[in-house]
Amino acid sequence: MAETSIVIDPYGKLRLILCNPRGQDHEDPNSGTGAEPLGEPLNEPGFLGSQINSFKTVSAMLDSDEGTELEHPHADYPKGWHYKVSLQRIAMLSANFEDMLDEACLEVIPPVGEELWCWVVEEFTPEAMLIVLNIMHGRNNEVPRELDLDSLAEVARVVDYFGCYEVMEVPAKSWIPHLEDEIPESYGDKLLTWIRIAGAFHEDKIFKRCTRQAILGYRNDYDTPPIPQVINDIARSRISKLDKIFEHLYEFVDSLIDSTLCSYEGEAHNLGIFIKHMHMNSLMPRPKSPYQGLNITGVVARIATIPHAGFLVLGQEPIHKGPSGYSDSLESVLTPMPVRNDIKGEPFEFYHALNGLIVQVKRVAEEVEGLDL
């Protein structure tokens, strides 16, 4: 890989090297968007923003093999995208940089002689890295006002890596609103992308909304979660709610076993039909935590769609009984009675109980709350 060098701060003491960039094509993030700059560069006390001159357009820098040579070239530096930046700004705005220094992390290499400090990073896009570094250096005129969802997700990855959350809040207010209509209502990779974006840019409402959808839809089958800590919190909440749902479901089964509201045959008939539906919907044998392949939304839907047809109305007595006390003619007893809403005062205990179960499990899903940042 050829080396491309970009000077963001000509007085900077840090060489940030991006190796193994994500993706193959790296285009100007401003191109084709008609984007306007966010405003004038920041001139904060102690920073060098007012001393930084305008540099070549982003597209020219990213598309050209020609770059600005950094002082003190080092033969051992890895090839990639080299950014000359302010050590002062990075140390002040990046919590992770300070942690790396404290832990003597090998990614941050102290200078030797007159060379620059060196920070080696991997697996980011050059465009996202340049956007974040420009913002950290107060170069707001070089920052696009709008980003598409994929670009915003890449920027969020860089922000999470640096830990530079506060400085990103203002530009995020420009990027996120026009993309909110793309937030999905079901679980999937796109929803996880929005969780990362909302977390990186401290969008509390979006984060809570998206993590709620993730708790409802997560199946414990995501092999490489991009946000492990959040996924762990989602998984714990999901398991807790599924525990409650299956507790309600199997309490209902126990109530059918113990019921004495009508004839033995009628009770056995209803229990058998209900267990049959549970088997058909993979709800029996009782699933165990961590409920691999199941999600809250799906389990609730399976329970709620168990058909009422075929069950006997509890309270119905057999036509006649034999010496054993049970019906001599099962056919005469097991003829299902249809639900009739126009009959008042009839003992529809089973249907009331089944509807009560459905209300219970739906309430568990409705009470799911998203995570707080």
Q: What is the pLDDT of residues 240-289, one digit of tens each?
A: 999 999 999 999 999 888 877 667 777 788 888 899 999 999 999 999 99
**pLDDT at position 313, please?**
58
pLDDT at position 329 over 60: no
The runs of H, that is alpha helices, within 182-289 are 189-200, 204-217, 228-258, 264-280
Nearest to 131 by CA among 35, 209, 3, 216: 35
For residue 358, the model assigns a pLDDT of 94
pLDDT tens digits, 27-81:
443 343 333 333 333 333 222 222 222 222 333 333 433 333 444 444 467 788 9
In the chain, count of helices (H) and strands (E)? 13, 5
Amino acid at 165: Y
pLDDT at 216 over 80: yes
Mean per-residue pLDDT of the chain: 77
* pLDDT for 96: 86
What was the pLDDT predicted at 81?
93
Look at residue 353 in the predicted model and tell me its pLDDT.
85
> How does 167-195 read in b/e, with b if 16+ C-beta sit within 10 Å?
bbeebbebbbeebeeebeeebeeebbbbb
Q: How far is CA 337 from CA 256, 333, 351, in A?
A: 18, 10, 12
Which tops the pLDDT comparison, 102 or 235? 235
Of 106 and 198, more confident: 198
Q: For 88-113, what is the mean pLDDT?
A: 77
| β-sheet with 81-85: strand ranges across | 4-7, 81-85, 14-19, 117-122, 108-109
Please give the average per-residue pLDDT across 84-104, as a whole number. Answer: 84
Band (pLDDT 50/70/90 cuts) for residue 366 is very high
Task: Tell me how far apart the alpha carbons of residues 168 and 152 are, in angstroms, rounded to a whole number.
Answer: 12
106: confidence class by pLDDT, cuts 50, 70, 90: low
User: Which has the minimum average pLDDT: 128-142, 307-321, 323-337?
Assistant: 323-337
- Please report, to the nearest 10 degrees, the dihedral formed by the alpha carbons of residues 247, 252, 258, 264 taken in order: -150
* pLDDT at site 225: 54
Which among 161, 159, 134 has a CA at the least distance from the CA of 145? 134
According to the model, what pLDDT value does residue 126 have?
95
The residue with greater pLDDT, 169 or 71, is 169
Measure CA of the first residue to CA of the last residue in the chain; give whole Å.
39
What percentage of the chain carries pLDDT values higher than 70? 69
Question: What per-residue confidence (pLDDT) applies to 341?
Answer: 45
